Amino acid sequence: MTTLNSENINKGNMSSPSTLLRCLQIAWPVSLQSVLAAALGMIDIIMVSHLGESAVAGIGLASRIQFVLLMVGGAFSVTAGIVVAQYIGAQKAHAVSSIIAQILIVAVGLMLPLILLCNIFGVALIELGSDDMDVITISSSYLTITLPSLLVLLVYQVFEGALRGLAQVLVPMMLGAVAMLINVLLNYLLINGVTLGDSTLITAMGTDGAAWATSLSRGILLFLLLAWLVQQKHLCLPRNKTIKLKNPECDWSSIIKISLPVAINFAVWSLGTFVYQIIFGSLGTQALAIMSMLAPIEGTLISLFIGFSTACSVLTGQKLGNNQMDSAYRLGRNLTYIITGIALLTGGLVWLFQELLLAPFASYEQHTLELAAQILLIMCLGIAIKTANMTMSLGVLRSGADNRFCLMTDTLGMWMVGIPLTWYLAGSTGTLLWVFIATYSEEVTKYLLFAWRMHSKKWLRNITQKPADIPCAEAQMP
C-alpha cells in the first residue's frame, strides 16, 4: 500500500521530487488500468474492422449507449473513492466496510432499472443514431448481449473506487491487464470461430462474438477481484455485521447526497456524448465510422491522465479529512498545472505516430482516412484542455464533494453551449471537421468555470463532519 504521510504533501509542495514521486506511485497504476479499459473498447473495434464500416459503426453506437450506464457506475466508484479517502484521513478506517455496503446497495438499486429500460428501448435509441439497417441490426444485438454484464461491472467499479481511495491501486491495474488479455483471446475465438480440419469447434459469431467476449471478461474480472478481497480479508469487503439499516458513522441520506449528484452529473454528461454521436450519425455512416474508430484513441489519451486526477483526489481528500485546507488547495492547483502541461506534450507525441494508429483501418477509402487524420489532429491538440477540466473536476472539486457545482458546469457547457453549436453546424455545413471542432466550445466554457471555482476555494470542505458533528454529511454549497 502506498504510504501517503509526507511533510511535503502536508505542505502542498508539488515542486518537491518526493511529493511528485508519491503522486506518481498512485497515478501510474490507475492510468495504466484506465488505458487498458479504454483499450478493451478499441480491441472490439479493431478486431471487427475487417467486417466493414457497418460493423465498426454498429459497435461504436452501442458502446456510446452503454457509456451512459457505465458513467453512472463510475459515479459510484468516484463516491467510494471520495468517502474512503476522507474517512482514512479522519482516522475512521473502521467505518469503510459498512459504507461500501451502503454504496453498493444504492448503486445496484439505481442501475438495475436503468439497465431494464435500456434493454426495452434499446432499438429506439439506436435508431436515433443511424438509419442504416445493417448498423441498427449489429448495434441492437451487441447491446442486448452486453447490457446484463453492466451490473457485474458496477460492483467491480465500487470496489475499485474504494481501493483507489485507500491508494491501493496495483491490484486493479493487474486485474485490468488480465481482463484485457482474456478479452483479446475470447474476441479472436468468438468473432472468427475455430476450425480443426473439417470440424468446426467454435462457430464464427462476428460482432456478436465481440459482445460475448466483453461480457465474459467482465464476469471474470469481478470474480478475480472478489477472490482477492476474500483472501486478504480486506477492510473494504462488506460482512453481515457491517450491513446496517442505521449506520452511526454514515447515514443513508449522506451517501445519497454525495452519490446522486455525481450519478446525475455523469449521466447528463454521457447522455450528451450520445447526442454528439447522433449528430455525427446524421452526417452519414462514414462520419459515424470515423468517430467510432477514433473515440477509443481519444479515450486512451484521456485515460493516461485519469491516474493523476485520482492521485489528486486521494491526496487532497485526505488533507480535507484532516482539516488541512491550505495544503489541499495548493496540491490541487499545482497538480492541475503539471498535468495539463504533460497532456499537451503527449498530444504532440501521439500525432507523430498517427499513421501507425490509423494502420488497422488501411482498407478504408482514402478520403475516409484523410478525414480521420484531420479529426485526430484536433483530438491531439484538444487533449490538454480536456485533461485540465478532468483534473479540476474529478481531482480537485470533487475531493471536497463539490458535486452540484460540477453538475451545473457540465450541464451548462454541454447542453447550452456545445450541443446547440454542434447541432447548428451539422445542419448548416454538413462537414464533420467543423462539427467536431464545435464540440470543443463545451470544453472552453467548462475550463473557465472550473478554474474560477478552484481558485475561489469554495470546494474546500470536510465531509466527515458538520458543525453539528454529524458524520459523513455533505456541507451546504456556498
Give the three-class secondary structure for 195: strand
Q: How far is CA 202 from CA 50, 191, 194, 206, in A?
A: 19, 10, 5, 12
Cell numbers representing residue 353 in the block? 505516430
Q: What is the pLDDT of residues 59-78, one digit of tens each?
A: 888 888 888 888 888 888 88
Q: What is the pLDDT of residues 171-180, one digit of tens each?
A: 888 888 888 8
**Through-space distance between the first and last CA atoms of the chain, rounded to whole angstroms:** 36
Q: How far is CA 302 from CA 39, 138, 221, in A?
A: 12, 28, 22
- Structural contact between residues 476 and 400, judged by C-beta atoms closer than 8 angstroms: no
Lowest model confidence (mean pLDDT) among 244-248, 258-262, 335-339? 244-248
Cell numbers representing residue 463 in the block? 465531509
**What are 195's strand-pairing partners?**
200
pLDDT at 424 over 90: yes
pLDDT at 4 over 70: no
Mean pLDDT of the region 97-125: 89
pLDDT at 249 over 80: no
| Rounded Cα gap, residues 125 and 147, in angstroms | 14
Q: What is the pLDDT of residues 138-151, one digit of tens each?
A: 999 999 999 999 99
pLDDT at 258 over 60: yes
Give the three-class secondary structure for 137: helix
Q: What is the pLDDT of residues 348-387, one digit of tens each?
A: 999 998 888 888 777 778 888 889 999 999 999 999 999 9
| Rounded Cα gap, residues 431 and 60, in angstroms | 20
Under the banding of pLDDT at 50, 70 and 90, the label for residue 405 is very high
Under the banding of pLDDT at 50, 70 and 90, the label for residue 219 is very high
pLDDT at 6 over 80: no
Which residue ranges make up each domain of the chain?
A: 30-456
362: CB partners within 8 A, 6+ apart: 369
User: Could you tell me how many helices (H) and strands (E) the chain has, helices first?
Assistant: 19, 2
pLDDT at 475 over 50: no
- Structural contact between residues 48 and 329, judged by C-beta atoms closer than 8 angstroms: no
- Structural contact between residues 324 and 5, judged by C-beta atoms closer than 8 angstroms: no
Under the banding of pLDDT at 50, 70 and 90, the label for residue 201 is confident
Mean pLDDT of the chain: 83
Q: How far is CA 310 from CA 81, 322, 396, in A?
A: 9, 18, 9
- pLDDT for position 18: 61
Give the three-class secondary structure for 46: helix
- pLDDT for position 41: 66
- pLDDT for position 349: 92
pLDDT at 162 over 60: yes
Greater confidence (371 vs 28) lies with 371
DSSP 204-271: --THHHHHHHHHHHHHHHHHHHHHHHHHHT-TTS--GGG--SS-SSS-HHHHHHHHHHHHHHHHHHHH
